[in-house]
């Protein structure tokens, strides 16, 4: 009898351990992974030479207009969008479109604005120019979408794999789908259709703005750029020499008055002031009162693991629902990650977040560093393990199949050293296989180094390091 009780107790402990481990992952809703869930490549047998793909197919007709490429994003044009997405068979330009809409479109990005292969911001509109929210490639209905054109990333998959892995770890990670794109009948290559970061079901699911309230749910973004109307200047903006500006993403510009702007600015500042206060580590008086701590833990791990240079400097978002705390995210833009930053190599060794404006203080708190260490070790046994990630890459590449070759028939010249975008020039890879190997090797090297050194982040929260700050 005693032996049965012992066995039952052990089994119960194991089940609890599994449940706890799973609770560390974002399994509330199963994420759609296109390369697993969608139709695989079926060979086209056409003899008439027409374009055929197993990926969703996008055609944009601008009626001869050039798509605006302006650093201040001040101009858009109207165009027609057709999406062919049969789901269970190949797609062709002469098929009946599964989605058709009038759109506004412009090129988007910062440095990437000047790449030959552009990325685009698209808004679906009706004839009366109101929003035309539609499901796109199975993603939740919305009017605002990003067509990301990987060219710096020779693997084509950095954003796809990173957004999906992040989506298994934390909420709100943008949904993504591979597709092939034509603009005015010209083939433009493999793209990633991405949910733009905005309020909505399946996106940042916060409550709507209401005119009758002096407060609101909100999303703000740290980024480069000129000063727009919706800029705010929170505490760290005027106390630090920040290279980025802080913009209000939600509510929309038309709903931002001085009262709302001041509310959001003061709310972000309240978090930052508590973070930089004497009582920063106090549960009631410090930063924990203001933020969803686990979102900051997950954000650090994802971006440290991938060595995403821009994180917590540019392309960085904070959000808050009126009934909740401030969260960081969604994650955004991994084209520069995994040692793919244009201007300088990124080593697979070393940590960087302890030098970033919010994390300087977060990592002074041993409560926070312990959470990071424990969470990292759980994730390395699951969706951040070498085996999981390498297998994920291989399956994604197999899914893309002949679309990769078609993309580089258009953009293959970028494998020439004198056409490469990375500096110094020897970093530019000469083939797709070399690009894949670089990505895989970086992941395994980065994981190995972090496994060996993750416990060392305790140094940033140790009394001996912070005594002079606290006294």
Low-confidence winner among 80-89, 210-219, 231-240 (lowest mean pLDDT):
231-240
Distance CA 375, CA 299 (A): 11
At residue 224, the pLDDT reads: 81
At residue 39, the pLDDT reads: 75
At residue 14, the pLDDT reads: 43
At residue 19, the pLDDT reads: 43
pLDDT tens column, 310-323 = 899 899 999 999 99
Find all residues with CB under 8 Å of 101, minimum gap 6, and list them: 80, 81, 124, 125, 132, 134
Would you say residue 26 has pLDDT above 70?
Answer: no
At residue 20, the pLDDT reads: 42
Q: Name the one residue in this structure whose structure tokens are 């039952």.
A: 8
For helices 386-400 and 402-411, give the axis angle rounded to 10 degrees.
Answer: 70
Would you say residue 411 has pLDDT above 60?
Answer: yes
| Residue 60: exposure state from Cβ atoms within 10 A (0-12, 13-18, ≥19) | buried
Low-confidence winner among 135-149, 212-226, 359-373 (lowest mean pLDDT):
212-226
Greater model confidence, 376 or 241? 376
pLDDT tens column, 115-154 = 999 999 999 999 999 999 999 999 999 999 999 999 999 9
pLDDT tens column, 419-441 = 888 889 889 899 999 999 999 99
Q: If pLDDT is split at 50, 70 and 90, which confidence band does 388 have?
A: very high
Nearest by Cα to 219 from 234, 204, 235: 204
Distance CA 122, CA 58 (A): 12
Distance CA 346, CA 442 (A): 10
* Mean pLDDT of all residues belonging to the chain: 91
Low-confidence winner among 43-52, 103-112, 289-298 (lowest mean pLDDT):
43-52
Distance CA 309, CA 338 (A): 9
Would you say residue 27 has pLDDT above 60?
Answer: no
At residue 13, the pLDDT reads: 43
At residue 17, the pLDDT reads: 43
Would you say residue 229 has pLDDT above 60?
Answer: no
What mean pLDDT do residues 309-337 have?
95
Q: What percent of the chain has pLDDT over 70?
A: 91
pTM: 0.92
Alpha helices, H only, 192-281: 235-239, 258-275
What mean pLDDT do residues 39-52 have?
82
At residue 72, the pLDDT reads: 67
Q: If pLDDT is split at 50, 70 and 90, which confidence band does 42 have?
A: confident
Q: If pLDDT is split at 50, 70 and 90, which confidence band does 15 have?
A: very low
pLDDT tens column, 162-194 = 999 999 999 899 999 999 999 999 999 999 999
Would you say residue 12 has pLDDT above 70?
Answer: no
436 touches 395 (CB < 8 A): no
pLDDT tens column, 257-280 = 999 999 999 999 999 999 999 999
Find all residues with CB under 8 Å of 381, minimum gap 6, and list them: 21
Q: If pLDDT is split at 50, 70 and 90, which confidence band does 16 have?
A: very low
Q: If pLDDT is split at 50, 70 and 90, which confidence band does 225 have?
A: low
What are the domain boundaries of the chain? 34-195, 218-384+451-470
At residue 11, the pLDDT reads: 45
Nearest by Cα to 101 from 67, 136, 52: 136
């Amino acid at each position: 009898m005693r032996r049965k009780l012992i066995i039952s107790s052990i089994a119960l402990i194991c089940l609890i351990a599994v449940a706890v481990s799973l609770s560390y992952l974002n399994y509330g809703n199963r994420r759609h992974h296109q390369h697993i869930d969608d139709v695989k490549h079926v060979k086209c047998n056409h003899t008439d030479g027409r374009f055929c793909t197993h990926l969703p197919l996008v055609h944009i007709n601008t009626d001869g207009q050039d798509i605006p490429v302006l650093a201040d994003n001040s101009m858009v044009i109207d165009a027609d969008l057709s999406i062919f997405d049969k789901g269970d068979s190949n797609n062709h330009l002469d098929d009946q479109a599964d989605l058709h809409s009038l759109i506004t479109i412009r090129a988007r990005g910062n440095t990437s604005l000047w790449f030959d292969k552009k990325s685009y911001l698209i808004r679906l509109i009706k004839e009366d120019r109101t929003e035309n929210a539609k499901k796109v490639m199975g993603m939740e209905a919305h009017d605002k979408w990003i067509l990301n054109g990987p060219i710096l990333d020779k693997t084509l998959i950095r954003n796809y794999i990173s957004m999906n892995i992040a989506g298994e770890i934390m909420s709100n990670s943008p949904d993504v789908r591979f597709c092939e794109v034509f603009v005015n009948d010209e083939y433009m290559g493999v793209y990633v259709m991405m949910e733009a970061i905005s309020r909505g079901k399946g996106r940042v699911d916060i409550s709507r703005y209401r005119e009758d309230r002096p407060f609101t749910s909100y999303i703000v973004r740290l980024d480069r750029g000129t000063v727009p109307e919706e800029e705010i200047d929170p505490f760290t903006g005027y106390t630090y020499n920040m290279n980025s500006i802080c913009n209000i993403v939600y509510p929309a510009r038309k709903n931002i008055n001085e009262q709302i702007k001041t509310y959001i600015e003061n709310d972000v500042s309240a978090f930052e002031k508590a973070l930089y206060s004497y009582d920063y580590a106090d549960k009631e008086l410090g930063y924990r009162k203001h933020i969803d701590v686990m979102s900051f833990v997950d954000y650090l791990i994802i971006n440290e693991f991938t060595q995403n240079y821009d994180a917590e400097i540019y392309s960085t978002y904070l959000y808050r629902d009126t009934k909740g705390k401030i969260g960081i995210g969604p994650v955004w833009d991994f084209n520069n990650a995994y040692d793919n930053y244009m201007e300088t190599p990124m080593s697979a060794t070393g940590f960087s977040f302890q030098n970033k404006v919010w994390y300087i203080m977060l990592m002074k708190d041993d409560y926070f560093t312990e959470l990071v260490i424990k969470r990292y070790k759980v994730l390395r046994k699951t969706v951040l393990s070498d085996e999981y990630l390498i297998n994920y890459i291989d399956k994604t590449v197999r899914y893309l199949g002949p679309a990769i070759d078609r993309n580089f028939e258009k953009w293959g010249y970028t494998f020439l050293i004198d056409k490469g975008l990375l500096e110094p020039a020897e970093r530019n890879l000469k083939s797709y296989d070399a690009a894949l190997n670089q990505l895989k090797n970086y992941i395994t090297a980065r994981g190995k180094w972090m496994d060996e050194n993750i416990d060392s982040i305790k140094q940033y929260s140790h009394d001996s390091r912070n005594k002079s700050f606290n006294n």
